[in-house]
Amino acid sequence: MTEVTVFFQHLPENDKFVPRSVLVDLEPNVIDEVKASSFGALFHPNMLINGKEDAANNYARGHYTTGKTIEPQILEAMRKQVEACDNCQGFIFNSAVGGGTGSGLPRFIAAKRVENAYPKIPQVSFSIYPSLQLSTCVVEPYNALMATYNMVEYNNITIILDNEAGYDIAMQHLIKYSANPLQKASYYNINSLVCKAISSVTCGLRFVGQQQSTIADIQTNLVPFPRLHFMTCSLTPVVSERNKEYSRWSEEEMTLRAFEKDYMFVKYHDWDAQEDQMSIYVYTYLICMPVVTHKKKKQYCGISLIYRGNADITAVNAAVQRAKETRVKLVEWCPTGFKISMIDRNLAVLDEDGMLATDRSLTVIGNNTAIVRPLEQRIGRKYDLMYSQRAFVHWYVGEGMEEGEFAEAREDLEMLVKDYMELKADPGTDQYEITDDENVDKSENRNQGNNTTTNTEVINVE
């Protein structure tokens, strides 16, 4: 049985199902492509919105100037979608944060949502973070920093899908075994992997299973404090179609591999052999943030495991137990941080994905304290290099953004790093000391509270 009406609205007049989604871009090409594609007829024409020109890779254009030209249309479309729901469970935002539209536009939509209309409806973002291999513009660190600042404030859950990690997963597990192992992974390869992860995160809403999870469940289990909602996601198995000998992955293999960096959609660059050797297990490096603690395993403050297909509950429980013993260290104050969901319906795999359709699959979403390292290294530090010279800043100021916003966003990222580091400190120890100022900030942040609902429909804004 499927809950088709979660993501689709039934139109009784022509007995048609239309997606509860609003597709937006500032320039017409992308939306025109959707209209011309084989899926074009699926969408309600009023839910495909575009402007006349793009944001020219500039967050400030997406947020302050060009983006505003289509604001009324977007808000009207969202209002209609919400009104068409009996019980709106949440908003899902899909965007890439390296460009001007994807970084700037969601921010003012989210701000409007919170200020005005739907403050209690949670917002989940699947955010594509930029990579060097697939970089399309110089100012990606500025755009990604501003988008992250926005997401700390407005999102309830942010699932980071990093193009660099997606590229490596595709190269390592799919392209390497393909007919042409020398080719480079394309956006198609990355997108097909990312779609599978997104599909698994939302499958608890769409299919009935032994143990389902809704957006509210995920939020309750994974987000201990409102600001600390940046998730690392992984998918197993990812096996090439031409590599069939590995086609039957046991529940244990799937589970243990999902905690390896090779299957994560966030690229952790600073895997350090020396520190790994200090660790009990090779996989334990991720928690070894040097300033904070001497502990050897990574530290999670919440993990959600979504098994799909014919996974067996007894084998799953044994596999999770093994992962607890060997791969995962939860923060001290969160001893039971595993949420398990099991859905009978497996992932859909297309021929062109080059991926083997296996009997079962696993998607792990983890709130791992290590997430701040790639954010700091790949966005914070690159931002520092450019901003120290005030390079490209005039393009942003020229579009109505105050220069001070950059500094605020950078400070906020530093606060996020400290907040995450503080999670790792043992209660009652002085392993990580915070100043009085930080104390005030944190108690304020934590008092903002989490809005959870137990409703049913979901709106996609892409």
Ligand X SMILES: Nc1nc2c(ncn2[C@@H]2O[C@H](COP(=O)(O)OP(=O)(O)OP(=O)(O)O)[C@@H](O)[C@H]2O)c(=O)[nH]1
Q: Point out which residues bind ligand X (CB under 6 A).
A: 26, 54-57, 96, 98-102, 128, 130, 134, 136, 140, 163, 187, 190-191
Number of residues that bind Mg ion (CB under 5 A): 1
For Mg ion, give the closer residue by CB, 54 or 251. 54
Rank residues 130 and 366 by Cβ distance to ligand X and give the closer one. 130
Tokens of 361: 């699959």
**Binds 140, which of ligand X, Mg ion, none (CB < 5 to 8 A, cut-off by type)?**
ligand X
- The least CB distance from residue 29 to Mg ion, in Å, is 8
* Distance set, CA 288 to CA 272, 299, 422, 426 (Å): 10, 9, 13, 14
Helices 140-154 and 381-388 cross at an angle (nearest 10°) of 120
Binding mask of the shown chain, residues 161 to 200, with x at each position contacting Mg ion by CB under 5 A = ----------------------------------------
Q: Which residue has the tokens 């989940």?
A: 124
Residue 55 binding: pick among Mg ion, ligand X, none (C-beta 5-8 Å cut-off by kind): ligand X
* Contacted entry of Mg ion, ligand X, none for residue 134, CB cut-off 5 to 8 Å set by kind: ligand X
Residues with Cβ within 8 Å of 48's Cβ and at least 6 positions away in sequence, in order, are 23, 31, 34, 35
CB of 57 to ligand X, least distance (A): 4
- Choose the binding region for Mg ion from 47-55, 201-209, 240-248, 340-348 (rule: CB under 5 A): 47-55
Give the nearest distance from C-beta 63 to Mg ion in angstroms. 14
Here the tokens at position 12 are 């009784």
197 binds, among ligand X, Mg ion, none (CB under 5 to 8 A by kind): none
Nearest-approach distance from CB 190 to Mg ion, in angstroms: 17
Cα end-to-end distance, the chain, whole Å: 27
- Closest to 303 (Cα-Cα) out of 223, 205, 209: 223
Choosing from 21, 54, 59, 237, the residue that interacts with Mg ion (CB under 5 A) is 54
CB of 26 to Mg ion, least distance (A): 7
How many angstroms separate the most distant Cα atoms in the chain?
66
State in angstroms the smallest separation of the CB of 61 from Mg ion: 11
CA atoms within 13 A on the CB side of 40: 9
- Look at residue 67 and give the partner it binds from ligand X, Mg ion, none, a contact being a CB closer than 5 to 8 Å depending on partner kind: none
Distance of CA 193 to the CA centre of its chain: 13
- 374 upstream amide cis, omega within 30 of 0: no
Q: Which residue number is nearest to ligand X in terms of Cβ? A: 99
Closest-approach residue to Mg ion (CB): 54
Residue 394 neighbours by CB under 8 Å, 6+ apart: none
Tokens of 83: 């009104």
CB atoms within 10 A of CB 83: 8
DSSP 416-462: HHHHHHHHHSPTTS-SS---HHHHHHHHHHHHT--------EEEEE-
Q: By C-beta, is 34 or 415 nearer to ligand X?
A: 34
Beta carbon of residue 149, minimum distance to ligand X (angstroms, whole number):
17
Residues that bind Mg ion (CB under 5 A): 54
